[in-house]
Amino acid sequence: MSKRIAVLLFPGTNSEEETLRILRDCGGDAEFVHWTHASALRQYAAYVLPGGFAHEDRIRAGAIAAHDAMMETITAGAGEGKLVLGICNGAQILLEAGLAPGTHPARQATAAFTHNAPERHFICRHVYVKLAVEPSRCAITASLPEDALIPAWAAHGDGRLAAREEELVTIENGRHVAFVYARADGTVDDAATPNGSALGCAALTNRDGNVLAIMPHAERDAWNLNHLARLTGKDVLAPSGGSVLFESFVKAVSIS
């Protein structure tokens, strides 16, 4: 029996269709779980929190959703070692819930993806993210090559990693920064980071490496149709580009 993946739907979620489709195209047994069906989540082997503006991002991005009934099961599942992937708003929710970087007990948020620099400046641009840790540091990235470079779209107003200085030191020393922003040739520098994110961070993983919170949308550049320059055959619907992240996630779920 295949291991099922739940794609969570909060009020205000978007990009869920692309997320579901790329998971399925990569071989995952994925399906939506609506916030009114939170009690059904325990039967799933892994969880994906898509992007959007859950609960209109009131108070702070992801703050209300982090306390949704669904997150009780996600928090418990993460504690049991289940894989959890959060994308954009999903990543913000995971930080608000304390599941990433996870340097303190669950429900203790120590960092946030907050207002871009300059503050409240919404960005929508094509980016590349580069794997900044050894692949095995995070189960979700374990099938990627070292220094994997993944195309994606940054589309957020609150994507800048911010934390107290001592927490940033802990994040850096604990190898919690899973991906950093990079140029198309893989070069990493301050100019490659579009939002002023501390440590050039595009994604965080937790201490146990079973949770990944990534800001850019890899699912928005995950098929040949999104980037025809990659087309080597006739199938414009074939996965490519950002799909490698979801392929690695699905493989990790299958062996978890």
217 is catalytic: yes
Dihedral in degrees, nearest 10, Cα atoms 236, 240, 243, 248: 130
CA 166 to CA 183: how far, in whole Å? 28
- Dihedral sign, Cα of residue 84, residue 87, residue 92, residue 95: positive
H helix runs in the chain, sequence order: 16-25, 69-79, 89-96, 165-173, 243-255
Tokens encoding 166: 């001592």
176 is catalytic: no
- Please pick, among 88, 96, 156, 247, the residue that the annotation labels catalytic: 88
Listing DSSP states for 48-70 in one string gives: EE--B-GGGG-SSTTTTGGGSHH
67 is catalytic: no
CA 8 to CA 168: how far, in whole Å? 29
Judged by DSSP in three states, 191 sits in: helix
Strand partners, 177: 204
**121: number of CA atoms within 13 Å, CB side?**
11
Tokens encoding 254: 């299958």
Tokens encoding 31: 């399906």
Q: Which residues are catalytic?
A: 88, 217, 219
